[in-house]
Amino acid sequence: MPKVQASRRGKEEPPEGWSDLEPTLQEFKQKMRDAENESAAGKRRVESTWSVMRVHHQRSRYIYDLFYKRKAISRKLYDYCVKNGHADANLIAKWRKQGFEKLCCLQCIQARDTNYGTACICRVPKAKLEEGRVVECVHCGCRGCASTD
Amino acid sequence: MAAAAGDGAEFPILCETCLGDNPYVRMTKEPMGRECKVCVRPFTVFRWLPGRGMRYKKTEICPTCAKLKNVCQTCVLDLEFGLPVQARDSALGIEGSVPQQDGNRRDYTARTAGSLDVVGGETEFSGRAQPAGRAMLERIARKGPYYRRNKPHICSFFVKGQCTRGNECPYRHEMPQGDPELAKQNIVDRYHGNNDPVAKRMLARAGKRAAPLTAPEDKSVTSLFVMGLGDAVAQDDLRDHFAAYGELKSVAIAPKGACAFVNFKTRAGAEAAAQAALGGCVVGGQALRVAWGKPRPKGPTTEVGGSGSGNGGGGGVGGVPRIPAPPGAAGAAMYPSQDPTARGAS
Q: Tell whether A89 and A110 lie within a shared domain.
A: no
Strands (E), A16-136: none
Hey, CA dihedral for A96, A99, A103, A105, is it positive or negative?
Answer: negative
- CB distance from B115 to chain A under 8 Å? no
pLDDT tens digits, B23-77: 999 999 999 999 999 988 999 999 999 999 999 999 999 999 999 999 999 999 9
Q: Tell whether A140 and A124 lie within a shared domain.
A: yes
Q: Tell whether A105 and A149 lie within a shared domain.
A: yes
CB-CB under 8 Å, B28 with A116: yes
pLDDT tens digits, B200-245: 999 888 877 766 556 666 667 778 888 777 776 778 878 888 888 8
Among candidates A42, A116, A134 on the partner chain, residue whose Cβ is nearest the Cβ of B26: A116
In a domain, A77, yes or no: yes
CB-CB under 8 Å, A115 with B168: no
* CA gap B127, B276 in Å, rounded: 21
* CA gap B79, B82 in Å, rounded: 6
Q: Tell whether A69 and A92 lie within a shared domain.
A: yes
Domain ranges of chain B: 1-210, 211-322
Q: Tell whether A106 and A89 lie within a shared domain.
A: no
pLDDT for residue B5: 63
Among candidate residues A58, A77, A96, the one where a domain is terminated? A96
- CB distance from B26 to chain A under 8 Å? yes
pLDDT for residue B258: 76
Domain around A149: 99-149
pLDDT beneath 50: ranges in chain A:
none
Residues of A in contact with B52 (CB under 8 A): 131
DSSP single-letter state for residue A65: I
In a domain, A8, yes or no: no
Q: Tell whether A115 and A74 lie within a shared domain.
A: no
In a domain, A138, yes or no: yes
Q: If you write DSSP's letter for every residue of B178-224 in order, what string do you get?
A: S-GGGG---HHHHHHTSS-HHHHHHHHHHHHHH---SPPS-TT--EE
Q: How many CB atoms lie within 10 A of CB A78?
A: 21
CB-CB under 8 Å, A115 with B164: no
Q: Tell whether A105 and A147 lie within a shared domain.
A: yes
Residues of B in contact with A138 (CB under 8 A): none
In a domain, A9, yes or no: no
Nearest C-alpha in B relative to A134: B168
* CA gap A122, A126 in Å, rounded: 9
In a domain, A1, yes or no: no
Q: Tell whether A84 and A112 lie within a shared domain.
A: no
Give A140 to chain B, closest Cα distance, Å.
Answer: 14
In a domain, A7, yes or no: no
Q: Tell whether A104 and A85 lie within a shared domain.
A: no
In a domain, A4, yes or no: no
Q: Tell whether A86 and A108 lie within a shared domain.
A: no
ipTM for the whole complex: 0.83
CB-CB under 8 Å, A115 with B28: yes
Smallest Cα–Cα separation from B300: which of B209, B225, B242? B225
Q: β-pairing, B57-58 with B223-227?
A: unpaired
Among candidate residues A58, A80, A96, the one where a domain is terminated? A96
In a domain, A130, yes or no: yes
> What CATH number belongs to B211-322?
3.30.70.330
Q: Tell whether A123 and A106 lie within a shared domain.
A: yes
- Work out how many domains chain A is built from and give that number: 2
**Is residue B317 very low, low, confident or very high in pLDDT (cuts 50, 70, 90)?**
very low
Q: Tell whether A50 and A117 lie within a shared domain.
A: no
Higher-pLDDT residue of B18 and B273 is: B18
